[in-house]
Amino acid sequence: MFSFVSILKYNFSYLIIIVVAFLVACSQEKEPDAHKIIGEAVTAHGGDNYKQGVITFRQGSSIYRLLRHDDAFVYSRTSTDAVGQRVHDVLRNSGFTRTINDIEQELSEKEEQEYSVDLQALVDLVLLPYGLSSAALKKEYLGEALVNEEPYYKVRIVTEGEGKAHREYVCWFHKRRHVLEYVANAIAEDNNGRYFRKAVNAREEGGIRFQDYIDYSAPTSLPLERYDKAFEAGKLESVSEIVLQDIQVGQLPQL
């Protein structure tokens, strides 16, 4: 018969095996998937509501109108220049056009790229995180982070392109709410094209989450993924705000 001590040793050994197996299983758990994190964020921000419809809003002195039908889009910006002329920019799948006082302008390739990238950048920010799930973008999970005692997943996204079209983002998605609350960005050829943005004043219109952003200065010597630590340490200075006003979401015009 087994003695009490033998039974105790056996049970203790068995317990150690279970604990070791549990620890090994935990260590082998897959890290969160960047594609899944972004997909959950898109759902939390509006999901299918992004795919079709018309969004209009005012940002600064410019009026924006975004039309989407799945992969087809027409984005426009209307503003007034320094001498009172009406400037109307339109970016669609087929290219970019600018009219001044309803007269189409002849643009150089450099001008066309500069104006279209500028318009696209604001549109992309407004529609974040929609678009980040595109298979054309490179995505990398960077780990977890605490910002102001809130838990986040950190993901790097890289858009391939030439000049200012080549951008790198690092996004902080809340672990429980799945929403995007911080984003850092760098433009490949522009050392001044770096920023860290904090989302504020979140609200919903037409089933889509819209956010304003506070822009913070971003040192070029610091990797994007470390901007959260610099922000928490109070080393980033607020320099501007991006505020959306008069937001409206509607259906596409009937043909």
| DSSP 8-class letter at 48 | G
φ, ψ at 178 (rounded to 5°): 70, 10
Residue type present at position 92: R
**3: in domain:** no
Element (H, E) at 58: strand 52-59
**87: in domain:** yes
In this structure, are residues 119 and 148 in contact, taking their beta carbons and an 8 Å threshold? no
Q: 3-state DSSP call for residue 104?
A: strand
**244: in domain:** yes
Question: Which residue has 């643009």 as its token pair?
Answer: 107
**38: in domain:** no
**28: in domain:** no
The domain tally of the chain equals: 1
| DSSP 8-class letter at 46 | T
Q: How far apart are CA 252 and CA 50, in angstroms?
A: 12
**139: in domain:** yes
In this structure, are residues 156 and 139 in contact, taking their beta carbons and an 8 Å threshold? yes
Q: How far apart are CA 89 and CA 79, in angstroms?
A: 9
> What CATH number does residue 64 fall under?
2.50.20
Q: How far apart are CA 38 and CA 55, in angstroms?
A: 22
Q: How far apart are CA 155 and CA 37, in angstroms?
A: 8
How is residue 60 written in tokens?
């600064």
**102: in domain:** yes
Per-residue pLDDT of the chain (255 residues; tens, 9 = 90+): 445 445 445 454 554 544 434 443 444 457 889 999 999 999 999 999 999 999 999 999 999 999 999 889 999 999 999 999 999 999 999 999 999 999 999 999 999 999 999 999 999 999 999 989 888 899 999 999 999 999 999 999 998 755 555 678 999 999 999 999 999 988 755 555 688 999 999 999 999 999 999 999 888 889 999 999 999 999 999 999 999 999 999 998 776
> Domain residues for 101?
47-250
